[in-house]
Amino acid sequence: MQVFEFHFNPKLKPDLIFDSFCYEPENIYERRVGSLYMAGVLKNVLPQNLRFLDNLAKVVKERYYTPTLHSPEKSLKESLQRTNDFLERIAKSGNVNWLGNLSFAILSLRNFELNFAKVGDFKIFLVRGGQIIDIDRKLRFQEIEPYPLKIFGNIVSGKLAENDVILVLTREVFDYFQNPVVRASSTTGQGQNLLNEIAKLLPFNERGLREILNKKRGDLSKISGICLVIFLSKEILAKKRETILPQPKEFSLKEVFSPIVNYFKKLIKKPRLRLLGFGGQAKLKLPKIVIPKIIVPKPKLTKNQIIILALIFSLVIGFFATRQEEKQQLEIYQNNLNQIQEKVNQAESFLILKETKPQLVVEANSLLKESWEEISPIAKIAPNLPSDFSNQVFALRDKISKNLYQLNNLVEISEPEIIFEFNPKDFVPQKMVSDGKNLYFFSPYSQNLFKVNQTGESQLISIDKKFNLATSLDGSILFSLKPNQVIIFRDEQFGEIISLETPGAVGGWSPDFNFNNLFSYRSNLYFLDKKTGEIIKYPYLKNFEWGPPRLWLDPETKKAIDAKSLAVDGDIWILNKVNSISRYRAGKLQETLKLDFFPYPKEFSKIFTLSGLSYLYILEPIQKRIIILTKAGEIIKQFQSEKFDNLLDFSISQDGKIIWLLNGLKVYQINL
């Protein structure tokens, strides 16, 4: 058996951690249950959870390899139970940031018998005879119970054969392997599917696998995640881990020793005093002095002493050459910093004249953005430079950011108003919705509903259902239940469950649908399927009845594939994966708004608006802020706080004057 662990750019995303863990049996007891392999990813990670994956893997391993006579499947089940107990304890202690952010895969393998379980976005494939088989379909729509917390559920088991290959991929790695990015300079016109290339690698071997990945090394430097490869061969080799980072500059002996060579060249070129008899033009005549010969015995150096002296000499020369190179590099940084300072001075002069010439504000904003982009790489290395210079860098960076915050209407809130805080023993919310009067909190992982009014009074509403989506609907709330059912909550009571006609009946659309987002407009229901990029509309009839579904998007228009969220106000607004907003009308794409404001967008999660509101509202948990834009994409206001460290969802009052934010177990309120 051969195991390869490929880690792509672990430090590319500062709020993302991932790792893989591979254990082979070390004694007779452990050989009874075989090998254990794990891989994990944690998004939106907080400092206290930096060791979360290591601790989770430790819990699994310790229970799995407990000396027993159990089968591998039984041992894995007991490990999952112990893991669920561990996760339940830390959730009840208040550490819930990992909920919704954790992806983890566990595989055990003994005598070609595979058992595995997973949670989150991992993709697990079996490659056999050139064919790719998706073997984790049974776990894809598995339900999750909250308390007692049941994050890991069912186990999938199967019998493998010699020369089978198991691939365990994180979501971003899978997306690239399936649809590689095509460079503009490419002459092929199509990106080669790496999954197919790996499947066609016959016979499978390490050299061929590395050749496939090396061909895409440039593009792979732009993604972040794990590719765990397990090759079932009779040959037993140690596992290999490779961390793939952006391509470093090739090592060159010439570049390393050129400063030393140049240094000696300069010494040779300097004028020297030539003594009598050695070709000097000015000969100096001195009286002859006879000096008796003194014979000094030459010291004999051993080979080791010569090597040591040569090493010392090289180190001394290298030290002086490095100091000279550092000095030159510092001069370059200083020149760059001076140029940035000039841009900042020019931008500030424009801002002084903004009252008489408002158009200069745009130019000032542009100059400051350029300055920020130029100073950011210098600021990253500034801590390793002399303190006087680093202080200049940070002072200038702070000045730039302060001006940009003002120009981009960013408001920092040190102590946001909190109107309610949940007890994790009672309820752990994941999503929220408002009927215009009250806030309602729910979770796809939990039964029941939790109500909080605007004064902070709360009530737990019991119901033995789990809601995955919700939307306000004419003074009431409509909740969605998997796969195609809805239920109305009105006047503090739930109505009867309503079964919507399955979208599989829609012509030309796959029955394997998956509703990811829900919004209502004029009582019509609009569902978003991120996988297909389709928007499905259920037209409202009367008395909480809806007609057959239809595809809302025009067949010829661009689909909303991998969209994050949608909102409807007559137009349909789609928050795209690339942090842009697409506006659709009558089923056709009208425009795409590119969001270019400071701080630069990283990863938006939700968009919201209503027909009676003039603005778009966007949530960005990774930068701890909520953003208000005009419907033309211009920035109105941004609210940011260090307390917004686990933003999950938000809601807006009917008049648009209040924002409610669900942050972990706390509910914050912002008055506009």
Residue 321 has a pLDDT of 64
Residue 192 has a pLDDT of 58
Average pLDDT across each block of 10 residues of the chain; the chain has 672 residues. List them in order. Answer: 90 91 88 93 90 94 84 90 89 84 93 89 88 72 40 76 91 85 39 80 87 87 92 64 57 51 50 38 44 54 74 75 73 89 88 76 90 91 86 92 93 95 92 92 90 89 91 92 89 91 60 80 93 92 91 92 93 93 96 91 94 94 96 95 95 93 96 92
**Overall pTM surpassing 0.85 (yes/no):** no
User: Domain ranges in the chain?
Assistant: 2-244, 304-407, 426-499, 595-672
Cβ contact 640:623 at 8 Å: yes
Please give the CATH superfamily to which domain 2-244 belongs.
Answer: PPM-type phosphatase domain (3.60.40.10)
Rg of the chain (C-alpha set): 32
Strand partners, 340: none
Residue 239 has a pLDDT of 56
Helix 387-407 × helix 360-381 angle, to 10°: 150
Cβ contact 70:5 at 8 Å: no
First to last CA, the chain: 62
Cβ contact 432:417 at 8 Å: no
Cβ contact 384:393 at 8 Å: no
What is the rounded distance in angstroms from the CA atom of residue 526 to the CA atom of residue 551?
A: 10
- Cβ neighbours of residue 314 under 8 Å, at least 6 residues apart? none
Whether the link from the prior residue into 483 is cis, omega within 30° of 0, is yes
Fold classification of 595-672 is: Thrombin, subunit H (2.40.10)
Q: Which of 411, 465, 417, 404 is nearest to 597 (CA)?
A: 404
Whether the link from the prior residue into 416 is cis, omega within 30° of 0, is no
Exposure class string for 125-160: b at 16+ Cβ within 10 A, else e? bbbeeeebeebbeebeeeebebbebbbbeebbeeeb
What is the rounded distance in angstroms from the CA atom of residue 587 to the CA atom of residue 610?
A: 18
Tokens standing for residue 125: 């494939």
Cβ contact 626:410 at 8 Å: no
What is the rounded distance in angstroms from the CA atom of residue 190 to the CA atom of residue 529?
A: 26
What is the rounded distance in angstroms from the CA atom of residue 254 to the CA atom of residue 261?
A: 9
Alpha-carbon distances of 143 from 69, 140, 151, 436, 482, rounded to whole Å: 30, 9, 9, 31, 10
Give the DSSP per-residue string, 403-433. Answer: HHHHHTTEEE-SS-EEEEE--TTT----EEE
Strand partners, 472: 477
Alpha-carbon distances of 495 from 371, 474, 548, rounded to whole Å: 58, 15, 21
Residue 152 has a pLDDT of 66
Output the CA angle 614-617-622, nearest 5 degrees.
Answer: 165
What is the rounded distance in angstroms from the CA atom of residue 22 to the CA atom of residue 40?
A: 12
